[in-house]
Amino acid sequence: MTLIKSISGIRGTIGGRPSDNLTPLDAVKFASAYGKWIKEASGKKSPVVVIGRDARISGAMIQSLVQNTLIGMGCNVVDLGLSTTPTVEIAVPAEKADGGIILTASHNPKQWNALKLLNNKGEFLDGVEGQKILDAAAAEDFEYAEVDDLGTVSERDDYIDIHIQQVLDLKEVEVEAIKSAGFKVVVDGVNSTGGIAVPALCKALGVEVIELYCDPTGHFPHNPEPLKEHLGDLCKAVVEHEADFGITVDPDVDRLAFITEEGEMFGEEYTLVACADFILSRVKGNTVSNLSSSRALHDVTVKHGGTYTAAAVGEVNVVKKMKEVNAVIGGEGNGGIIYPDSHYGRDALVGIALFMSLLTEKKVKVSELRASYPSYFMGKKKVQLTPGMPVDAILEDVKQQYLNENLTTIDGVKIDFENEWVHLRKSNTEPIIRIYTEARSQEQANQLADRFIAELEVIAQQHA
């Protein structure tokens, strides 16, 4: 059982002992700390906070705890109920709110939940903001409102519809062309709020939808992370229904993956590549993804005359870099699309609309579209270290050995070789070094990872 505290929120497993898990006491403590921060940041006695949640089983309990704690802090709450992460993100500025909290553990299994914390732009907190909340929670340094100053709650059940309309209104989304295409899709909503939002978007675009696991009960029918090994039922259903493609999202609808008409993975890494290909064909500009994302985005960006920039891992880091280089699109290789013309947050609904627009423009099958992109394969492994090992010193030794290569050190060490790359970064929660590789074949990617595992083990022995 686990409780993970970070600048972007608190995530943990339900039940167990306080401070070891996400218990009611922990939910109240961190909601109190956020309430203190939002009052100080806004300078308001009664700031407004938007709250929404995914459909996981513990969601109603955690929302009640968090919501009533904020009321006790004197905050006024806008309750979106069952919602998605990007929906809450767009609702914060739309409501002129001072912040927002999304109750979701994203792709984690059902025993997990989390408080994801937003600022008044509907964006994740940066390191300075997040640290203030962690410090307040650790010190239990907060003061509750007196009875006449308690906050209020207003309920809104229309924000998913508002979100969908905003997607339809985006300049580059080819609504009429999509309606004319006659697409048939299978949607796996993993029995969370994607089962509400994704079919509704597809129907608004005139797309025929076969719903698979779209009942938002929170009883996930499979591991909710949208990876190949979890999507056998969706792959099978696409073929059985002779659908044009399949769509799947994680429980809070900020990650997106597609299945080809042949029942094969389009590739989670290639969700962003395809959407960027479409936008860059319309608007010249730059792109950003994190260091552990596929080189294919770089290749597509250069093809369109733009500049690709890598950011440190983490959505807040990608957003910051996108703003710095004025990127027209960006995101993460885990299927996260960030399109600034909508908002600075990963948004599967935006990704679906851009992907469908690309298909109508190119007039190809999804498998043909995938074949048109550079083909890369990724490996993800790790090296277990003895607790207390100097991880930073070990990574510094790796850096020194490869000074003649193309190095990036903003987040661990990334080494770009001519036809492949390796990214080494330490875990924030375990004594391990994560190893991400990419090459022209799966065998080469695995061999590169194994090579660096061996090198790291030798270096670690020198520090023992």
- Domains of the chain are 3-157 (3.40.120.10), 163-371 (3.40.120.10), 377-463 (3.30.310.50)
Q: What is residue 220's predicted lDDT score, i.e. its pLDDT?
A: 97
Exposed e or buried b per residue across 50-81, where buried means at least 16 C-beta atoms within 10 angstroms of its C-beta: bbbbbbbebbeebbebbbbbbbbbbbbbbbbb
Amino acid (1-letter code) at residue 73? M
**pLDDT at residue 385 in the model:** 81
DSSP 8-state class, residue 191: T
Selecting among 8, 32, 106, 289, the annotated active-site residue is 106
Q: Which helix (H) or strand (E) holds 81?
A: strand 76-82
192 carries an active-site annotation? no
Hunting for tokens 């039922």 — which residue is that?
A: 233
Q: Measured at the alpha carbon of residue 373, what is the angle toward residues 368 and 379, in degrees to the nearest 5?
A: 115
337-356 burial, b if ≥16 CB within 10 A, otherwise e? bbbbebbbbbbbbbbbbbbb
Point out the residues of the chain with pLDDT beneath 50: none
* pLDDT (0 to 100) of residue 384: 85
CB 250 within 8 A of CB 190: yes
- Alpha carbon separation from 326 to 272, 285, 447 (Å, rounded): 17, 8, 37
CA 28/CA 418 separation, integer angstroms? 51
Q: Which candidate, 96, 85, 95, places its Cα nearest to that of 9?
A: 85
Which residue has tokens 């000074």? Answer: 403
Q: Which residues lie closer than 8 Å to 436 by C-beta, 6 or more apart?
A: 292, 378, 379, 380, 422, 423, 425
Is the Cβ–Cβ distance between 353 and 201 less than 8 Å?
Answer: yes
Helix and strand numbers (H, E) in the chain are: 15, 20
Residue linked to tokens 């700031």: 47
The model's pTM: 0.95
